[in-house]
């Protein structure tokens, strides 16, 4: 009985940590967007450091303004697909037996997706304000949610490649 309760406690604790990570990402994203919309002028460059500007824009499309022409079915797609993906992500985080690195990367993606989905549902657009560049080459303007999605996806690729190569090495032995 004790061991069963201990195992259940550890599982609940781990799930709570993953949930808190997602909530922290969403709060950080929404707070930075609120500050950006409150204090930054729209569509005007404010240089912070060399190669780093703040540049407030409202992105009605998908990543990098794809699907930005405003058709209803595209809006539905931009809201419906992330909602469906969230159910899949929550399954991966809370019900799968994947590694913690895998689950943390999915938490990053999920937190970022929720942050952008909140914008899209309540405003019809996503607030972007971070502008990185090298000389004349600009990365598309993005936000904290986009950064977490990108980091999460990158870590996920590394985790999966590592797992793949470990399996290959096991097969060779």
Give the pLDDT score at 162.
93
pTM above 0.75, yes or no: yes
Q: Compute the average pLDDT of residues 106-123.
A: 94
Q: Compute the average pLDDT of residues 69-92.
A: 73
Over residues 90-102, the pLDDT tens digits come to: 888 887 888 999 9
Tell me which residues are annotated as active site.
128, 146
Over residues 24-63, the pLDDT tens digits come to: 999 999 999 999 999 999 999 999 999 999 999 999 876 5
Write out the chain in H/E/C secondary structure: CHHHHHHHHHHHHHHHHHHHHHHHHHHHHHHHHHHHHHHCCECCCEEEECCEEEEEEEECCCHHHCCCCCCHHHHHHHHHHHHHHHHHHHHHHHCCCCCHHHHHHHHHHHHHHHHHHHHHHHHCCEEEEEEEEECCEECCCECHHHHHHHHHHHHHHHHHHHHHHHHHHHHHC
Q: Which of 157, 138, 112 is nearest to 21 (CA)?
A: 112
């Amino acid at each position: 009985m004790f061991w069963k309760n201990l195992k259940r406690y550890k599982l609940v604790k781990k799930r709570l940590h993953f949930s808190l990570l997602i909530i922290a990402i969403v709060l950080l994203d929404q707070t930075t967007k609120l500050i950006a919309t409150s204090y930054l002028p729209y569509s005007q460059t404010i240089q912070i450091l060399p190669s780093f500007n703040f540049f407030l824009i409202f992105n009605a499309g998908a990543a990098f303004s794809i699907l930005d022409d405003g058709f209803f079915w595209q809006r539905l797609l931009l809201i419906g697909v992330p909602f469906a993906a969230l159910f899949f992500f929550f399954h991966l985080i809370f019900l799968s037996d994947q590694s913690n690195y895998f689950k943390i990367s999915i938490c990053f993606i999920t937190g970022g997706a929720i942050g952008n989905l909140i914008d899209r549902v309540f405003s019809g657009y996503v607030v972007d304000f971070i502008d990185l560049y090298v000389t004349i080459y600009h990365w598309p303007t993005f936000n904290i949610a986009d950064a977490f999605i990108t980091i999460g996806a990158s870590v996920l690729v590394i985790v999966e490649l590592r797992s793949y190569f470990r399996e290959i090495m096991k097969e060779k032995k």
